Amino acid sequence: MRKYIIKRILISILILFLVALVVYILMRCLPTSYIEAIARQKSMQPNSKSFEEWMAQLSATYGMDKGIIPGFFAWLGKALTGQFGDSWYYTIPVLEEFSKVIGISFIMGAITLVLEVVIAIPLGILCATKQYSKTDYVVSVISLVGYSLPTFFFASLLKLVFSVKLEWFDLFGLVGRNYEHLSSWGQFLDKAHHLVLPIVTLVVISFGSLVRYTRTNMLEVLNADYIRTARAKGLNEHKVVYKHAFRNTLIPLVTIISGSLPGLFSGALITETLYSIPGIGYASYHAMIAGDIPFSMFYLCFLAVLTLIGNLLGDILYAVVDPRVRLA
Amino acid sequence: MSKKDVNDKNETQQYSLNDDRRVKVLSPGALVAKRFARNRMAMVGLIVLIFMFLFSFLGGIISPYGEDQLFYRNDMMSKEYASAIVNEEYRYGAFTEDFNSVIQAKMFLAISKKADTFEYNGVQYGLTEEGKEFYSASKNGEMIGIAYKDIFNASAADSQYDMSFRYAALKAYTNGETTFEAEGKTYRVELDEGHIYDGTTEIGYVSRIVVQALMPDVFLSKAFKDQLIEVINDGGEQFVFTDADGVEYEYELTYKAATKTYTILQEKESRVFDTYAQPSAEHWLGTDRNGMDMLTRLMYGGRVSLVIGFIVEIISLVLGVIMGGISGYFGGWVDMLVMRIVDVFYCIPSMPIIIILGAAMDATGVDPTIRMVYLMLILGFLGWPGMARLVRGQILSLREQEYMTATEATGLTVSRRIFKHLVPNVIPQLIVSATMGLGGTIITEATLSFLGLGVKFPFASWGNIINDVNNVYVLQNYWFIWIPAGVLLLATVLAFNLVGDGLRDAFDPRMKR
C-alpha cells in the first residue's frame, strides 16, 4: 500500500511537471506582440512602472529572454520556492490575491457539495429501488435536465425570476450597497443572502450526475447475489436496501466524493463570473481575459495540482473503504 | 395482434421445426435499433434532435432572410431644428467706424438715464429717440449709429440691405408709419406683423423675435419664420409646416423661461436599425440588437453549434481511437507512455486554457472564420484523452479474448487486427460516449460564445445570441432575445444525453428491460 502511494505520488509529480511545461510553452507561444501590448497598456496606467520595467520584470520572472526550456526551469525554480511574481491585473503578488479570494470559493464549494450529496444520494437510491416507476422517470428526467442546463442560461433565468421579477436578490455581487453600515452578523447574513442564487445554480447543474451515478451503482448492488441472499433470509426490504445495499453503494460514492474534495478549492469559473462573486474563479477569469500571465500560470498549475490530488485521493480511498480492492 | 403478425404466424407454421426460416433472424444492428425504439425517452430525444437538424439546416434555406440581413424601421425622431428668442436687449448698427463698443455702452447708459447727450473722450454725442425703443447717436450732427430692439429680417437669403435702409424701415415701424423712403424708393409697412413691401413683393419684416437655425445647412424660409412667429404670438406649442417641396413636418415648441428662448423641435422620420423589435408576423421572434431577424439567427446559430459539436467530437474521436488503440493493444512501455500523455492532458484545465487563447485571439484580432476553425481544433485536441482512456480500457479486456488469439494465429497484420477486429468491438461504447460528449461540447462552445470568446459576430451561435442578456435591460424586457436560444440549447443537449442513454441501454443487452 505504502509502495503504491509513493509510486503514485512520484508519477503525479512527473505529470505535474509536464503539465507545467505544456502550460508554460503555451504561454510562451502566445504572440509576443500581445505580451508587449499588455505591458504597454499596464505602463499607461497611473502610478505604474514604465514599459521597459514591465518587460524587464516579465523577462526576469518568466525567463522570456532565455530559450523556452531554460526559461521554464528558471520559472520552475522560483515557483518551487513560492515566488509566483506580481499579478499584472491586480498589481499585487499573485499569492496575496489568491489568499484574498480562495475563502469565498471554498465556502461556496463546500455548501454546494453538502447540498448536492444530501439531495442527490437519497434521490438516486429512491430511483434505484423503484426502477422504471414514475418516480424514477421524473427524477431521471429532472437530473438529466439539470445536467444538460447551460450554466449561463440557468443563471439568467434565475436572475430574471428572483432578482428582476420578485426582487428577492441582487443581480450581482457578494455584498449589498449598505454592507459597510451593517453589524457583523448583518454582514454575514448579507453575504449569505448574496450566495443563495450562485449556490442554487451550482447545485442544480451538478446534482444530476451524482443522482445518476448513485442510481447506477445502487442498481448494480441490488442485482448482486448477496442481496438475493439477504432477501431470502427474510429480511424486510428496508433493511435490505439501507443496511446491505446502501453500505456497498457507499464504496464508489465515497471514492467519487473524496476525489472531488480538492475541487472545492478550484472555484466555479463560470458561476462566479456570472454573479460577480469575488472568488478564485472570478478573479482568474478577469486575470485571464486581461492577459495576466503570472496569475494565469499560477491558476492553471493550481488546478492541475488539485486534479492530481483528487485522483490520488479517490484511488487510495477506494482501496481503504473496499477491502476487496488490492493496490499493486 | 395486427393482421401482419397473424399472417407471419400462418407462414411460419408451414416450415418444418428445424427450418431456419422459422426463426426470425435479426442482425445485431437491427436488435439494437429495436431495443432503442422501445425506449420512449430516447425516442423523444431522437425526435428532438431530428427537429433541431431540420430547423438548423433546412431552416436557413427556407427562411426568407439571410444570416446577417439587417432590418430597418422608420422612427420619429425629434431634432432641435431652430430656436426663437424674444429680443430684449438693444442691438447696435454702425453708420461710421467711430461707433465702437465703448460708445455703444455709453449710449446704452444714456438711454437708460433718458439723457439727450453723452460724452466720451471729451467729445459730445447727441442721442435722439427716433421711435419706440429705437435711438440714434450723432456726432457733430452726423448720425454715427443706431440702437434698436425690433429687428429687420430679409426675406431672401442672399439679399443685402444697408444700414440706412434698416434705419428707415425701423423708424417707420417704431413710429407707426405705413410708408418710408430709402435709396429713392418707397416701401410700404404693414404695421400688424411688421411686413415690409416693395410694391407688392414682400422684402422682409420687422420683429422682436429672432429666429435662428440650429442645424447646419438649414435656411429658415420666411414662410416658416412667419408661421413660427404667429404661433409664438398666439402662445401655441405645436404646428405643422409644409415646406417649399410640399413635405409636411411637425414642429414642437418648448419655452425656456430662464433664457427666454423658444426651441423648435422638428419631428422627422428617420431610418434606423430595427433593433429589439417585438415578435410580429414578419419577425416571429423579433429582431436582435443589430436589427437582424431572431428566428433566422437561431437557425444559423444551430447550424454553427451542431457543426462545431460534430467536428470537435470527430477530432477527439479520431485522436482518441488511434492513441487508445495503440496504447491498449501494445501495452508495456507504449501503454505507459501514452497513458502518461493522457494523464497530462487530463490535468490541463481546458476551460481556462480556452479562455486564455480566446483572449489572445481577441487581442490579435483573428478573423471570425479562422477563429471558428481554431476553436474546433482546440476543443477537439483537449477532448481526446477521455476517448483514449475508454478505448484502451475496452481493448485491454477484448485483447484477452479467444477471437483475438485466432486473428493472431491466422497471421493478420497488426493494424488490421487493431482497426478491423478490436476497434469495431469498441464502437458501441464510442458511439455512446461521443453522443453524450456532443452535448457537453455544445455547452462548452455556447459558454465560450456567451463569454464572447468563442464564435464571434457576424456568425450566429446559440451562445453568442444569449450573450445579449448581460445587458440587464434586455434581461428584464426582451425575453425573445435570449429565452428561445436557451431553450433550443437545453433541448439539444438534453436530447443528445437522452439518445446517448438510450443507445447505451440498447447496445448493452445486460440492461434488458
- B202-256: per-residue pLDDT in tens? 777 777 777 777 776 777 777 777 777 777 777 777 777 777 777 777 787 777 7
In the β-sheet with B185-190, what is the strand arrangement from edge to edge? B151-154, B201-207, B195-198, B185-190, B179-182
Question: Which residue of chain A comes nearest to B501, CA vs CA?
Answer: A144
Q: How far apart are the first and last CA of chain A?
A: 7
In angstroms, rounded to a whole number, what is the distance separating the alpha carbons of residues A299 and A102? 11
pLDDT at residue B512, as a whole number = 44
Residues of B in contact with A300 (CB under 8 A): 348-349, 352-353
With respect to residue A144, please indicate whether it lies within any of the assigned structural domains: yes
- Cβ contact (<8 Å) for B356 and A132? no
Q: Least CB-CB distance to B466: which of A152, A290, A300?
A: A152
Q: Least CB-CB distance to B446: which of A27, A37, A150?
A: A150
- B430-455: per-residue pLDDT in tens? 888 899 899 999 999 999 999 888 88
B447 reaches A (C-beta below 8 A)? yes
In angstroms, rounded to a whole number, what is the distance separating the alpha carbons of residues B466 and B297? 11
Mutate to test the interface with B, among A152, A282, A298 (most CBs of B within 10 A): A152
pLDDT at residue B314, as a whole number = 94
Q: Specify the number of domains making up chain A.
A: 1
Non-local CB neighbours of A261 within 8 Å, separated by 6+ positions: A113, A310, A313
| Mean model confidence pLDDT for chain B | 82
Comparing B52-66, B274-288, B349-363, the range with the smallest average pLDDT is B274-288
Most distant CA pair in chain A, distance: 82
pLDDT at residue A58, as a whole number = 65
Query: Higher confidence at residue B351 or residue B272?
Result: B351
Non-local CB neighbours of B173 within 8 Å, separated by 6+ positions: B131, B150, B189, B191, B194, B196, B206
pLDDT at residue B7, as a whole number = 52
Question: Number of C-alpha atoms within 13 angstroms, CB side, residue B144?
Answer: 18
- B163-206: per-residue pLDDT in tens? 778 888 888 888 888 888 877 778 888 777 777 887 777 777 77
- On the question of pLDDT at A34 being above 80, the answer is no
Please report which confidence band the pLDDT of residue B1 belongs to, taking 50, 70 and 90 as the band edges: very low
pLDDT at residue A60, as a whole number = 66
Supply the ipTM of this predicted assembly.
0.86
Question: Residue A120 is part of which domain span?
Answer: 94-321
pLDDT at residue A174, as a whole number = 84
Please report which confidence band the pLDDT of residue B156 belongs to, taking 50, 70 and 90 as the band edges: low
In angstroms, rounded to a whole number, what is the distance separating the alpha carbons of residues A9 and B280? 63
CATH class of B25-71+282-507: mainly alpha
Q: To 5 degrees, how large is the angle CA A40–CA A43–CA A45?
A: 120
Q: Least CB-CB distance to A308: which of B347, B443, B446?
A: B347
In chain B, domain spans: 25-71+282-507, 84-248
CB–CB of B186/B180 below 8 Å? Answer: yes
- Cβ contact (<8 Å) for A132 and B513? yes
Residues of B in contact with A137 (CB under 8 A): 41
Q: Least CB-CB distance to A19: which of B347, B351, B443?
A: B347
A183–chain B nearest CA distance, Å: 31
CB–CB of B497/A147 below 8 Å? Answer: yes
- A190-227: per-residue pLDDT in tens? 889 999 999 999 999 889 989 989 998 898 888 889 89
User: Among residues A149, A131, A150, A151, which one has the least CA distance to residue A140?
Assistant: A131
In angstroms, rounded to a whole number, what is the distance separating the alpha carbons of residues A20 and A39? 23
Share of chain A above pLDDT 90, in %: 22
Non-local CB neighbours of B360 within 8 Å, separated by 6+ positions: A30, A31, A34, A291
Query: DSSP assignment, residue B20?
Result: G
User: Among residues A324, A249, A295, which one has the least CA distance to residue A58?
Assistant: A295
H helix and E strand count, chain B? 17, 15
B343–chain A nearest CA distance, Å: 7
Question: Which residue of chain A comes nearest to B443, CA vs CA?
Answer: A150
| DSSP annotation string for B340-398 | HHHHHHHHS-HHHHHHHHHHHHHHHT--HHHHHHHHHHHHHHHHHHHHHHHHHHHHHHH
Residues of B in contact with A148 (CB under 8 A): 439, 443, 490, 493-494, 496-497
With respect to residue A87, please indicate whether it lies within any of the assigned structural domains: no
- B360-378: per-residue pLDDT in tens? 888 777 888 899 999 999 9
Residues of B in contact with A22 (CB under 8 A): 344, 348
With respect to residue A7, please indicate whether it lies within any of the assigned structural domains: no
Residues of B in contact with A160 (CB under 8 A): 475-476, 479
Q: Which helix (H) or strand (E) holds B239?
A: strand B238-242
CATH code, A236: 1.10.3720.10
Instruction: Note the Cα B306 to chain centre separation in Å.
Output: 24
Question: Which residue of chain A comes nearest to B474, CA vs CA?
Answer: A160
pLDDT at residue A220, as a whole number = 87
- Cβ contact (<8 Å) for A288 and B451? no
CB–CB of A162/A169 below 8 Å? Answer: yes
- B261-289: per-residue pLDDT in tens? 888 777 777 777 777 778 887 778 888 88
pLDDT at residue A201, as a whole number = 93
Q: Which helix (H) or strand (E) holds B502?
A: helix B479-507
- Cβ contact (<8 Å) for A31 and B41? no
Residues of B in contact with A303 (CB under 8 A): 349, 352
Instruction: Note the Cα B270 to chain centre separation in Å.
Output: 18
Rounded to an integer, the average pLDDT of A129-152 is 89
With respect to residue A296, please indicate whether it lies within any of the assigned structural domains: yes
- On the question of pLDDT at B51 being above 90, the answer is yes
Rounded to an integer, the average pLDDT of B469-486 is 86
In angstroms, rounded to a whole number, what is the distance separating the alpha carbons of residues A238 and A221? 15
Q: What nine digits make up the cell of B140? A: 457733430
In angstroms, rounded to a whole number, what is the distance separating the alpha carbons of residues A170 and A164? 9
Rounded to an integer, the average pLDDT of A147-152 is 90
With respect to residue A268, please indicate whether it lies within any of the assigned structural domains: yes
- On the question of pLDDT at A57 being above 80, the answer is no
- On the question of pLDDT at B157 being above 70, the answer is no
- On the question of pLDDT at B128 being above 80, the answer is yes
Phi–psi pair at A72, nearest 5 degrees: -60, -45
pLDDT at residue B513, as a whole number = 38
Return the beta strands (E) in B17-162 as ranges. 72-86, 91-94, 117-120, 123-131, 134-139, 142-148, 151-154
B500–chain A nearest CA distance, Å: 12
Non-local CB neighbours of A77 within 8 Å, separated by 6+ positions: none
Answer whether the bond into residue A278 is a cis peptide, omega within 30°.
no
CB–CB of B41/B484 below 8 Å? Answer: no
- B370-418: per-residue pLDDT in tens? 999 999 999 998 888 888 988 888 888 888 888 888 988 998 888 888 7
In angstroms, rounded to a whole number, what is the distance separating the alpha carbons of residues A212 and B338? 30
In the β-sheet with B72-86, what is the strand arrangement from edge to edge? B209-213, B72-86, B261-273, B248-256, B238-242
Query: Higher confidence at residue B316 or residue B169?
Result: B316
